[in-house]
Structure 1
Amino acid sequence: MIGQDFCGSISSQIKTFSKFFQTLLASVNQSDNSERVEQLNQIRKIYQNAKTVLIWLGPDTREHQAKVAVDSILIISNFLCRILGTTVSDLSSTDDVYQDIVFKNREHLPLPNECEFSTDTMWESLIWFYSRSYFTRVWIIQEINANKERWVHCGHQRIEWDRVELVAGYLIMETAFSKRFGFTRAYCWWAAIVRTERIRQPKYWLSMLYFASNFSCTDTRDVIYALWGLMTASDGTKLLEPDYSKSIVEVCRDTVEAAFVDFKNTNVLLYVTGNESPSWVPRWDRPMLFRNPFRSGKALPWRPAGETKPIWNIDKDLNILSLSGFVIDPIKFAESYDESFFRNAMTESDEGRSTLKQVWQQILKTVKSGSQIPFSASALAAAATSFSFGLDEESNPADESRLMRNFVAYLKNALGEETYDKYIPSGWSEEPSYGDGYAFDKPVWNFKYPESSFFITEGRLMGCCISTTKPGDMVCVALGSTYPFVLRPDGDHFLIRGYAYVHGIMHGEQRYSQEQVFKIR
């Protein structure tokens, strides 16, 4: 009873402090821009200077699910630390717990439901625990990253944040498990990624905004301004300074200019999805978790424009971006596809395999438009590399032959024998045994992905774009770019559809094409 009374007292204090903090924020004059900015500066200092950050998830249920959930997190985190040879105290100093501890060792970890501790009661309590709205609030990014001493309180229970984070990553490690047991309805992903290295490093503020777009806030501008204390833009700091007199479009537009100035490349345009207005302004206030590459901020070797710097101008009155670059080729054939079809769970059911067969029959017909059948090794390499955006399952640049072998092995699983034999040379019957079909472009998380597209240009270049394309769209390269873009002619201007991977141009093979200025709106 003494321990319970003590925990109850602490929980009461946390709730009282939480209400005080909310009252303090509410007392800020929201119409006074300078006062709001001043308070933004204070928030990070408060968390940094605190001895311990106490996180309040909310009250327990009558069934005492908080205790079951916390006990479950203790059991699972102890199991993971033991099997991986680490300790809970080591986790706070790990750059990225999900990538460096869980995902890196996924082949050595059993699925959660295959462990001795697995019970339906455990999973039900953890779904309840990780469904707390706290995990999705953009303001927690500063709260979690500003201090290493963090304790999570729920009802009368408390537990270290590092355990909560580790178990969240384990629960989303395999899409099939998380979907089957209902964790796609919870907020495990948010809990697992909120403390990644790319969020903690101020210089990677584009990656920070990318992740934060999936978090929520009352004022949409705070998707950017709530992170201001974490961001460092040496040459563009003034452009990122909070100004609540601006609209959300103006605030997002300022990030484009700041990124051009700060990074000296066009990578900020990689975050547009083909559904924005203006088309070149990423909307950080809308969830933008989509793959290829999974934008974790890794440095990539692609230089389709060679070692160039961007040449740009922004007309803020007309919201037009002028960007120098060159045209590669117009698109002749295009076929849309959904990346979620590539997840391994699709091959584990008759319904999934039936869907895959239909999807790939349609895609391969498009591939056939630019190549004879059965496909040659070069055509398969071009298709495999395009669908993978040149990356392996860990978003690292990969050898083309390995991507091709994995692609062929994947098609062996996805297609019926008759269709497979139609498109793959008979002499390749042993080729799948050298590849891993389950490693082909596997999405890490079970999110809803926007439609992407495979295309072939008039010059028979194969590529993939992160949004839908159509014949007549132009594959273009901006100076200072990491990826080419697909631009759609719109009168005298263009609209950005999204970035693409185009096999055969990613290392500047067409760098010396005639330059022109693209006016994008």
Structure 2
Amino acid sequence: MKTFRRKTPTAEYIYPPLQHPDSIRLLELLAGEASDPIRIALSEVRFQDNPEYEALSYTWGGEDGDNTRSCSIDCDGRYIRITKNCEAALRQLRSQDKSVSLWIDAICIDQENLNERGHQVGLMRDIYSKASQVLIWLGESSEDVDEETGVPVSDIFLNHVSVMAREFRALQSNGKSRTGSRYYQEILSDTQRWYSVCLQSPLLGGMVDIHRRRWWSRIWVLQEAILARSAVFVCSQHRISYSDIELWYDVLVRDLGNTARRLAIYVGDSSRTHLNLAYHLNGKDAVPSDNSMSPAVNLLHQARYLEASEIRDKVFGILGLSAELRPLFPVPDYQKPVSEIYTEVAKAFLERSNSLSILHGASLRNLSSDLPSWVPDWSVPTTLDLSPRFYSMYNTGKGSRAEFEISGGNKELRVKGKIFDLIDKISLAAPRAYEMQCIMQDRIPGWQKSCEVGLSLDTLSTRTDSREVLWRTLCWDTSYEVSRPAPATYAKDFEQWHSLLVSNRPIDKIAAGIKALENPSNFTIFSQAPLCVTQKGFLAGVPFTTKAVDCIAVLTGGNPPFILRPTGESYRLIGPCYVHGIMDGEVFPEDPNELEWISIR
């Protein structure tokens, strides 16, 4: 018997233009053995014909970050270049005896055709919501293994979650509490053991490994996971339903409380974003149709901390999350300047919501930016990492309706308000102390500076005990559960925290002591907001880019006050702030005639 080697294609595949507005391409992954070359066929289909397919959610680059298209696959006798991670997913999803119908962005969209890319991005909501299933490719099993069994810790975690979810549902069907599950008790024990003696079990090690996968960092996972009829995580040969992972997060966030929050801190800043995001990925339409737009503002905020190789995708990547967003967002156009896209979005939110909530995400980082200072730069994190819901607790504008107009070719935002005060004294540590990614040892000098500023005043304008004003300003008068005012019990927590800061211990010993406190996060969460004193004697938490030349404005429709920097006859927006004693409208003018037009560029 003779065997024949299939010739490797030497000509690159040429994409024929799509013929209809509702057309997409599907790939047929042809059957093959594990070692066989990948072979596919592409065909055009229309949504009106209700095609059957599964959609892949993955990262172009694998865990090594290699997103170069270094691999070739056979497509109808020609080659298409894909990344190593895409090829690994195809090999894992390929069947030995039948073809599989898939949609994969890197293959089904002509990546060299910018017009087609923009058009297909506009169809993402349909692509993922109409797929029979979304397959979430996490990569291969972890290299870290349980030293006793040799089993990869990622496999241990996924197996545990799968079995735990089945047991939970069985208990629920019998009217019993999930706390009776032995798997529940195991994760509770492991989490408490980790917190008490810093031991990491294989189970928690697997959780950390899974949450550090690059998939969680992608902007596109927002809609790919939310819109799916059914979603399945695929890690090597393991498959686990998305609903099982959701159940796991419910236990972690709702049942385990502060212990789980500390575990999230241990995992790292980026994974805290992932954990928070995943816990809330349970609504099929992320943004309701009311006019508040606050859920959409939150989505844009979350998107800042996720990765996108194309920064326009910080906006386009969440476009499909709600039908109500489509009229607000510009049509995806990858040839339009980023500054124009971001400005259009900010303007649309202002006009639709009649509130200033979109300004909470604006922060002056780069004076040479093409963006007006009032437009958030969604391509980078904010100078102050606070969820939009924090700002909604304040009422500096005393319930007033935002009065604004946009002019000057969308460069100028004019808002009615009042310049209330000026920055008098601000004492900063090294810039590293205020960066989101820095370790606790780097943050400590910033906290020490803030405490020095707060305690340097004998009398404050609020006529309240200076230590109480200090600790309330440090935590922006909020509890960890995001409520106001902060409970009086925080005074004791502050004294413990402050005594460590002013001790003569080495920085690493101070950091260890803070980590051991029962409630350390109540004051550390606002570490990016140094304290300053105003000319009128108020204590304020401000963006670390604030300078002594800046002023504080209360604006119509504003929740928090804002730091503004004078530039001729207008101002630059530095960011939102907290000023103790004015956060509930105490200084907002009763007489509308006292309001003035403030120009922000």
TM-score band by shorter chain is 0.7 to 0.9
SS at match of 1:202: coil
Change (3 A) 1:79 1:192: farther
TM-score normalised by length of structure 2 = 0.65
Aligned to 1:423: none
Corresponding residue to 1:398 among 485, 488, 504:
485
Deviations 1:402-422 (A, max 9, x none): 44444334324433399xxxx
Aligned to 1:212: 303
Amino acid paired to 2:305 = N
2:264, 2:275 within 8 Å by CA — same for their partners in 1?
Answer: no
C-alpha separation between the residues in 2 aligned to 1:487 and 1:474?
5
2:446, 2:527 within 8 Å by CA — same for their partners in 1?
Answer: no
Aligned length: 461
Aligned to 1:242: 332
Aligned to 2:137: 56
RMSD (CA atoms): 4.5
Find out whether 1:324 has 2:416 as its counterpart.
yes
2:298, 2:387 within 8 Å by CA — same for their partners in 1?
Answer: no
Find out whether 1:263 has 2:347 as its counterpart.
no
Task: Please state how far the C-alpha of 1:155 moved relative to its aligned partner.
Answer: 2.0
Deviations 1:200-258 (A, max 9, x none): 52141111111011222232111111211213557x92454434442111111112111
1:314, 1:322 within 8 Å by CA — same for their partners in 2?
Answer: yes
2:392, 2:559 within 8 Å by CA — same for their partners in 1?
Answer: yes
C-alpha separation between the residues in 2 aligned to 1:198 and 1:159?
16
Amino acid paired to 1:196 = H
2:122, 2:332 within 8 Å by CA — same for their partners in 1?
Answer: no
Change (3 A) 1:412 1:405: same
Pick which of 136-145 and 61-70 moved more.
Answer: 61-70
Amino acid paired to 2:585 = G
Aligned to 1:460: 537
Task: Please state how far the C-alpha of 1:392 moved relative to its aligned partner.
Answer: 0.7
1:386, 1:462 within 8 Å by CA — same for their partners in 2?
Answer: yes
Find out whether 1:511 has 2:591 as its counterpart.
no
C-alpha separation between the residues in 2 aligned to 1:273 and 1:198?
30
Change (3 A) 1:497 1:41: closer
SS at match of 1:261: helix
Larger radius of gyration: 2
C-alpha separation between the residues in 2 aligned to 1:300 and 1:49?
35
2:269, 2:437 within 8 Å by CA — same for their partners in 1?
Answer: no
1:489, 1:495 within 8 Å by CA — same for their partners in 2?
Answer: yes
Aligned to 2:579: 502
Aligned to 1:438: 520
Aligned to 2:374: 280
Q: Percent identity?
A: 18
2:135, 2:233 within 8 Å by CA — same for their partners in 1?
Answer: yes
Higher helix share: 1
Deviations 1:443-484 (A, max 9, x none): 3xxxxx984221111111111113332223101011110110
Task: Please state how far the C-alpha of 1:160 moved relative to its aligned partner.
Answer: 2.3
Change (3 A) 1:491 1:232: farther
C-alpha separation between the residues in 2 aligned to 1:488 and 1:195?
38
Find out whether 1:24 has 2:104 as its counterpart.
no
Task: Please state how far the C-alpha of 1:162 moved relative to its aligned partner.
Answer: 4.0
Amino acid paired to 1:51 = S
Task: Please state how far the C-alpha of 1:151 moved relative to its aligned partner.
Answer: 1.1
Change (3 A) 1:18 1:455: farther
C-alpha separation between the residues in 2 aligned to 1:15 and 1:475?
64
Amino acid paired to 1:202 = V
Deviations 1:8-55 (A, max 9, x none): 98622599766754211226831x3xx545423432223222332212
Aligned to 1:416: 503
C-alpha separation between the residues in 1 aligned to 2:315 and 2:170?
32
Change (3 A) 1:206 1:88: farther
Change (3 A) 1:126 1:109: closer
What are the within-5 Å matches in structure 2 for residues 229-378 of structure 1? 229-231=320-322, 233=324, 237-276=327-366, 277=369, 278-288=372-382, 290-291=384-385, 293-295=386-388, 297=389, 300-317=392-409, 319-336=411-428, 338=433, 352=441, 356=444, 359-371=446-458, 378=465
2:273, 2:302 within 8 Å by CA — same for their partners in 1?
Answer: no
Task: Please state how far the C-alpha of 1:330 moved relative to its aligned partner.
Answer: 0.8
TM-score normalised by length of structure 1 = 0.74
Deviations 1:497-520 (A, max 9, x none): 110111111111111172222222
SS at match of 2:152: helix
What are the within-5 Å matches in structure 2 for residues 82-93 of structure 1? 86-87=168-169
Amino acid paired to 2:387 = F
Corresponding residue to 1:201 among 283, 286, 303:
286
Change (3 A) 1:255 1:331: same
1:487, 1:494 within 8 Å by CA — same for their partners in 2?
Answer: yes
Amino acid paired to 1:416 = S
More RCO (CA 8 Å, sep 6+): 1
C-alpha separation between the residues in 1 aligned to 2:437 and 2:501?
9
Change (3 A) 1:332 1:62: closer
C-alpha separation between the residues in 2 aligned to 1:127 and 1:279?
38
Change (3 A) 1:486 1:403: farther
1:474, 1:488 within 8 Å by CA — same for their partners in 2?
Answer: yes
C-alpha separation between the residues in 1 aligned to 2:171 and 2:350?
40
Aligned to 1:422: none
C-alpha separation between the residues in 1 aligned to 2:312 and 2:455?
47
Amino acid paired to 2:380 = R
Aligned to 1:483: 560
SS at match of 1:259: helix
C-alpha separation between the residues in 2 aligned to 1:495 and 1:241?
29
2:130, 2:229 within 8 Å by CA — same for their partners in 1?
Answer: no
Task: Please state how far the C-alpha of 1:282 moved relative to its aligned partner.
Answer: 0.5
Change (3 A) 1:240 1:159: same
Aligned to 1:102: none
C-alpha separation between the residues in 1 aligned to 2:518 and 2:463?
20
Change (3 A) 1:245 1:450: farther
C-alpha separation between the residues in 2 aligned to 1:410 and 1:471?
28
C-alpha separation between the residues in 1 aligned to 2:282 and 2:422?
36
C-alpha separation between the residues in 2 aligned to 1:238 and 1:133?
30
1:131, 1:185 within 8 Å by CA — same for their partners in 2?
Answer: no
Deviations 1:251-275 (A, max 9, x none): 1111211111122111111101221
Corresponding residue to 2:155 among 42, 55, 71:
71
C-alpha separation between the residues in 2 aligned to 1:9 and 1:462?
60
SS at match of 2:355: coil
